[in-house]
Structure 1
């Protein structure tokens, strides 16, 4: 009996899909999806597959790609500039990402209080995050100018010998880190939303138990907002390995490659030296690095991130 019912149900299902109305609805749905599908194939999937292929070739753009196998990947082992760019980017990431998360979170904690001019301060701290990267680069190039920059002028008045910042091998990377921390308010909206989403009953219960402000922050606020902290850390981590605009416009990797970020070096290889095969290989190595770091971060955060379902992250 059950087999007969299943057969009858299958027949009805096939009949429903074969009806003119069903075919019309399916066609309309496909037509609505078609622009996205074409865009995805043309601008995402297609270039990804093609770059994967040419990463195994010697491709000087104006000539046909020549298959070289793993030679591009083997060449990285002996490429001093590859290791230099990786080291510069790693040092930048190591300081800029945690620093940006901490500063942004502290700003959100301060702006989550009832203070005078709250809307103004929230806007003021968030504005740097929406300023175009080109404008930000030129602004900080002017501020860090060793001759007439605002920062060096202030240091001279304090009697401090000012550094050359972007013109110094020792100070160029700290200058870029300071520049990135100026935009730490980018996560401000997310942090504020997370802070305002913490149930007040948890704070009330903590106060009843005798918890002071530090204990409430540590045992209530931080756990309840930890998913947002993890999200902003991961997006900052991914973004820090793709720094390009500031390094290209301000120093172009100098002085002496001290600010040669990874993506800037990838750009040089592809569009200055016209080694598209090697540049594609660099791109896939970057993808692998970001993927591994993301997985490690997610794994390491398992016991630190709390979700409202009551389960810790895994």
Structure 2
């Protein structure tokens, strides 16, 4: 009697550990490629815009600063660093740098102090607080040219509102339009009025992020409101202050519209900053190469200040 035999079982081939190890780098490589493609899709257009409209003009400005070229002229003469030498040899350069420094320090320092005081006031529970916040921030979104033209009527020594108020208390109006020092003060006042709302808005956001329990603990320990503000609130506002110090400094050094509308750099170049000098040399005098040299120097100043702030000042900022 024949007996049925069971066919031998086919052995199942299992993937060895070496095959699994080979599959992991492939999966990792596919994930990396997918991430790079996603990055290219999302960030590629922004990078392209930066390259075309920021870095390309910047490099072109560096190149133009090495040329003796009048705006509109078909020819340009390479002069190397001669434009930079002319800038530092110009007798008007120290005055321009001094005006730039005074304007920047006054607008940045004054703006941050006034903005912080306004933010503290607007953070309190006041009647019509929402309307007050809107009024404070509104000038920031207005056109600088329009603001400058309107304030010209305020500072008019004969028919202006300010001169009328000063005459009412027996004080004569300063020569805002003819005295270089008073003209610079006038421009600083208008710049602060326009931009202090931005600083106040950022500081207000920082104040609202301060934990209430820390202030209550300081109060229970016997600290006065002023002591609590100095010892608790100000250190917690360190990141906000650091951010504002960078943004307001960069904005102030590049201010143009208010100066153009109110003083046109005068009188006697009393309000001519580096940024406004770039405009005068490039578009009024037509010295495009020399203007590009000033623009390059201004860029290097901004770059160095920003690096110093990020490298050294940020170390003293407490983020927690």
Sort the TM-score into its range (normalised by shorter chain).
0.7 to 0.9
Structure 1, residues 211-243: CA drift from partner, whole Å, max 9, x if none?
Answer: 111110011110111211121122111111112
Distance 1:193 1:3, change over 3 A: same
Residue 300 of structure 1: how far off its partner (Å): 5.4
Partner of 1:121: 132
Moved more, 31-40 or 77-86: 31-40
Partners of 1:16 and 1:231 lie apart in 2 by 36
Structure 1, residues 141-176: CA drift from partner, whole Å, max 9, x if none?
Answer: 111111111001110111001112133223111111
Alignment partner of 1:202 is 2:214: yes
Moved more, 33-42 or 102-111: 33-42
Partner of 2:235: 223
Q: 1:104 aligns with which of 112, 115, 127?
A: 115
SS of equivalent residue, structure 2 residue 187: helix
1:1-314 equivalences under 5 Å are 7-11=22-26, 26=37, 35-61=45-71, 62-183=73-194, 184-298=196-310, 301-302=313-314, 304-308=316-320
Distance 1:97 1:31, change over 3 A: closer
Partners of 1:240 and 1:53 lie apart in 2 by 26
Moved more, 38-47 or 244-253: 38-47
Contact 1:82 1:265 in 2 (8 A): no
Contact 2:187 2:262 in 1 (8 A): no
Contact 1:203 1:216 in 2 (8 A): yes
Partners of 1:234 and 1:287 lie apart in 2 by 14
RMSD value, Cα: 2.6
Distance 1:33 1:294, change over 3 A: closer
**Based on CA coordinates, which of the two structures has the bigger radius of gyration?**
2
Residue 287 of structure 1: how far off its partner (Å): 1.1
Partners of 1:188 and 1:101 lie apart in 2 by 8
Distance 1:226 1:166, change over 3 A: farther
Residue 2 of structure 1: how far off its partner (Å): 8.8
Residue 130 of structure 1: how far off its partner (Å): 1.4
Q: Give the TM-score of the pair, scaled to structure 2.
A: 0.86
Structure 1, residues 86-142: CA drift from partner, whole Å, max 9, x if none?
Answer: 211111112221111000100100111111111111111111111111111111111
SS of equivalent residue, structure 2 residue 258: helix
Q: How many residues align?
A: 303
Partners of 2:39 and 2:308 lie apart in 1 by 40
Gap regions ≥5 residues in structure 2:
1-15
Q: Give the TM-score of the pair, scaled to structure 1.
A: 0.87
Contact 1:244 1:264 in 2 (8 A): yes
